Structure 1
């Protein structure tokens, strides 16, 4: 069967060719993955936010950024994901151009907000572990709120150019409205540096420095050195590091091809298969439901608070029924 792309927006010249429908089994599988991702995204990230608000041990400056990251993940579950499921099942976009643009804006803001919040978390952990003597002054609750606002201000500033140049369009390969890499090669190159290469470099630097210090301290402890790291700080670092690794794994298949396209000479960009793009796209979306699971597995404070929330919900259900 062949898809007629007459419902694509004017200007999406890269995808006006005829495209082959996925099989019914593939469509159902993709829709099932997105429904599962959406439900787990909402439930998991709501649980993270509720746990931090209710637990005094979790209510600290570092976890303010965790809440901010959870909000970034929740954004896509509340609007773009449900629309994507509808488009998947109908095999076309029927929600109109306004909803398409809005979904693309939210998706772009969520992705950039996520990577910048991950960068903010890495810097926070770096200051906490490697420069603990000035951490409390740098990360007072007031300063932390300002930093969160700055993080989102930068994220919004990076989404605006996408809107202005018309790079947010419908992509029939994934039945979703998203950033089209080939719409404006120069913009793609600039944004790739600003919302991918720079944040990723900072995150790698911070976590490398922390790992070096942790290894050094552990080595010194074996030789009866008095220098130690607080176990909760190391645990929090490991949790955030695991979240970053999963983010990199899930977003890599989607982001690496965009890097290749962004820095390839004009007219010499390699042709990447639609199958690779689709797999990378859905892997990137799947990441939004993983952080809550990671926190529960890696951090006993989150795990204990999850249990408290589950017990409360269970008792509430018993009272209702």
Structure 2
């Protein structure tokens, strides 16, 4: 057969012939065909092969996502550090509920510390992890998943705490939320979050590392048992906290509605009694009723303050689910892999939303954080020993 005849190249997998045009000494053509996922370049009858990139996004898209994540990490670290320092500096913020708020801020802070590693992978022009070792990426991926699980457990603990505080007697609340019980509660929820994400990979079920498709530090979708690992994450981290959160806030809502209906009835009855007593000249009874009204008003003021705190914490829960829901829904919709990276940006926004809610809405956190941002530490209510020591050091300097 002469050189002018057509040359046939066969695929090992499909045994399909691919025709390559003939060439001459002065005129030759370059044909590129993809066979079984491998790019084959035929130049002057010589075939060369190279791997096709697994990336689902262009490099420009990766740069945009990396910049967004770095901004989120910056806001996250500053905001959650302020929340933690607010409790360190003010004794007034050292309540049982705020123990879980601080635990939640620590979880969010871990997310902020893990995000930059994914930005490193996104900004690298190549398709492989740019550093000499993948250990930082493995650790970042694990921290990201542990913190997400811990955040959900903390939000469930906060919801249950508010339910007991608002609906049950204060004596029961104080007996349940002692320092010892709070420490055990926080330790258990973190141990469960860590165990859920760490133990399965130790037994060969899933793993963490560099995701070549999205160029991020995450769990490995290419692992042979990745789907099993995802099911373990889902069933151990999501249903129970979700049920606790939803049921707790529904019961709080129903209780609050009944409470204010009762209060309106009581005020109406007291008003009618007071008017009747005044018309009959019973002044001592009026004084007694006025004392009852004042006591009821004070109780309502405290109740409304706790209700306001509960509403703001509920906003944090809503923000969490608004941020994570698009990503979680996309996981169950076919052909959405390309959009998961962009939805991941929305997912991680939940880690920096909470400090913004506390600084703008929470009545107690707002005051302390505002003083901190204004560097007016001496005006912080009920300063802690740590803050007093810090102020003393500043005066000596």
TM-score class, shorter-chain normalisation, is 0.7 to 0.9
Q: Residue 84 of structure 1 is aligned with which of 108, 118, 134?
A: 118
CA distance in 2 between partners of 1:218 and 1:136 (Å): 24
More strand, by proportion? 2
* Residue in 2 that maps onto 1:166: 206
Q: Greater CA deviation, 163-172 or 96-105?
A: 163-172
User: Do structure 1's residue 288 and structure 2's residue 351 form an aligned pair?
Assistant: yes
Q: Residue 135 of structure 1 is aligned with which of 161, 164, 173?
A: 173
CA distance in 2 between partners of 1:20 and 1:153 (Å): 35
Matches within 5 A, 1:79-228: 80-91=114-125, 92=127, 93-95=129-131, 96-133=133-170, 134-164=172-202, 165-180=205-220, 183-224=225-266, 228=300
TM-score, length-normalised on structure 1? 0.83
1:270-321: CA deviations, max 9, x gaps? 52312331222111112111110011122121111112111227999xx9xx
1:28-62: CA deviations, max 9, x gaps? 43222112111111110011011122222211111
Contact 1:173 1:278 in 2 (8 A): no
* Residue in 1 that maps onto 2:45: none
CA distance in 2 between partners of 1:243 and 1:112 (Å): 15
* Residue in 2 that maps onto 1:6: none
Q: Greater CA deviation, 36-45 or 293-302?
A: 293-302
SS of 1:224's partner is: helix
Q: Greater CA deviation, 299-308 or 225-234?
A: 225-234
Higher relative contact order (CA closer than 8 Å, sequence separation 6+)? 1
* Aligned length in residues: 291
Alpha carbons of 1:249 and 1:181: their partners in 2 closer, same or farther (altered >3 Å)?
Answer: farther
Higher-Rg structure is 2
CA distance in 1 between partners of 2:79 and 2:107 (Å): 13
Matches within 5 A, 1:6-85: 18-22=54-58, 24=60, 26-78=61-113, 80-85=114-119
* Residue in 2 that maps onto 1:249: 322
1:248-287: CA deviations, max 9, x gaps? 01011122344x3xxxxxxxxx523123312221111121
Alpha carbons of 1:20 and 1:49: their partners in 2 closer, same or farther (altered >3 Å)?
Answer: closer
CA distance in 2 between partners of 1:173 and 1:131 (Å): 51
Contact 2:137 2:209 in 1 (8 A): yes
- Unaligned ranges ≥5, structure 1: 1-15, 261-269
Instruction: Provide the aligned C-alpha RMSD in A.
Output: 2.6
Alpha carbons of 1:190 and 1:69: their partners in 2 closer, same or farther (altered >3 Å)?
Answer: same
1:40-88: CA deviations, max 9, x gaps? 111100110111222222111110111001000111222x212122222
Q: Residue 311 of structure 2 is aligned with which of 206, 230, 238?
A: 238
Contact 2:97 2:162 in 1 (8 A): yes
- Unaligned ranges ≥5, structure 2: 1-51, 268-295, 379-390
CA distance in 2 between partners of 1:17 and 1:86 (Å): 18
1:162 Cα deviation (Å)?
Answer: 4.0
SS of 1:57's partner is: helix
1:189 Cα deviation (Å)?
Answer: 2.1
CA distance in 2 between partners of 1:272 and 1:179 (Å): 19
Q: Greater CA deviation, 29-38 or 106-115?
A: 29-38
TM-score, length-normalised on structure 2? 0.68
Alpha carbons of 1:239 and 1:173: their partners in 2 closer, same or farther (altered >3 Å)?
Answer: farther
User: Do structure 1's residue 303 and structure 2's residue 366 form an aligned pair?
Assistant: yes
More helix, by proportion? 1
* Residue in 2 that maps onto 1:7: none
